[in-house]
Amino acid sequence: MARCAWVGAEPQPGAAEYARYHDEEWGVPLHGDRLLFEKMSLEGFQAGLSWITILRKRPRFREVFAGFAPEVVARFGEDDIARLMTDAGIIRNRLKIEAAISNARLLLDLEPGELDAMMWSFAPASHARPATLADVPATTPESDAMSKALRKRGFRFVGSTTMYALMQSTGMVDDHVEGCWRAA
């Protein structure tokens, strides 16, 4: 089955995990404040690392971040940060941990559904399917605008490249390349 080139092929390390993620999750429309908060958090933790690292650590992230329930994460304090900093099952970066907690608090200041509506408002009306992996941009005017809007509200680790990755993974844009079985 032909897939996007970033998936790789066996016996490349992580190819099976990438294939499952590509086939079942990447590019599937995702809605809901909690789900988008989780994706925003994980994309922020991924910054500077490979996505396979996050995929492998995602179950532990979900466990220690209470399923990314913003009302729980928002109550995390210094003891929780210290606990998370010692957990080898996640990315132990204090700034990223603090950003996830701060972002949860900001999310609670929004009306239910507001994060979802705001983020999806940046989904382009049309998006040209990339012919090859080389044609996939790192950022777009829409991801620039989403990043700027989130940062204006105080959200952290939401740069344009990170937000474009979120847009791809949540189906706001469809970057399955031509020839990929998932290309619509």
* Active-site residue list: 21, 43, 51
Q: How buried is residue 169: exposed, middle or buried, by Cβ count under 10 Å (0-12/13-18/19+)?
A: buried
31 is in an annotated binding site: no
The DSSP secondary-structure symbol of 26 reads: T
Tell whether 63 is in a known binding site.
Answer: no
In whole angstroms, give the CA distance from residue 108 to residue 46.
23
Q: State the DSSP H helix or E strand holding residue 100, giving kind and residue range, or none if neither.
A: helix 94-108
162 touches 170 (CB < 8 A): no
To the question of whether residue 180 is assigned a binding role by annotation, the answer is yes
Query: Is 127 annotated as contributing to ligand binding?
Result: no
Going by C-alpha positions, the residue among 132, 168, 149, 145 that lies closest to residue 51 is 168
DSSP state of 12: S
List, as residue ranges, the binding site for Zn(2+).
4, 22, 176, 180
List, as residue ranges, the binding site.
4, 22, 176, 180
